[in-house]
Structure formats: structure tokens, C-alpha cells
Amino acid sequence: MLTKQQIAAQLTHMAKVQISDITRAVKGSEKAVALNEITDLARRLNLLADAIATKPPAAAVVNPSVEVTLGPG
């Protein structure tokens, strides 16, 4: 189980890295890159939500050998 401090640290890290990448892409008029970064942020947030849920995600139950890393992309 993740502590509140671990969750906060992970959210802060995701926000800093992904928002920076999204901002850079938007300023560079790279719409496709910005959209990919937004998609990646949504994927990471979903993984974090699954990690803190009381019930494990279905994919983890079906294939317990799959390891999910929430660190940098």
C-alpha cells in the first residue's frame, strides 16, 4: 500500500515532468507531441489510481508476472 507521502511525491513528479513536456510541445507548435504527452499523463494517472485502489486492477490479477513502474517514462 502506498503512503500519502508516496502518492503525493508521485503526483508531483508526474505533474512536473509531463506538464513541462506538454508546455514545451505546445510552445513548439507540435500538436501531436502534446497530445501524446497528455495521453501518457492520463495513462500514468490511471496506473497510479490502480496502485492505490483497494482492489487490484484486473490486468494484475490475470497476469501477475507483469510489473508496472510508475517512474519516469
Owning domain of residue 8: 4-54
- Has residue 17 been placed in a domain? yes
Burial code (b: 16+ CB inside 10 Å, e: under 16) for 50-70 equals bbeeeeeeeeeeeeeeeeeee
Domains: count for the chain: 1
The pLDDT of residue 63 is: 47
- Has residue 66 been placed in a domain? no
List pLDDT tens digits, range 7-63.
Answer: 889 889 888 988 999 999 999 999 999 999 999 888 988 888 887 776 655 555 544
The pLDDT of residue 34 is: 92
- Has residue 30 been placed in a domain? yes
- Has residue 69 been placed in a domain? no
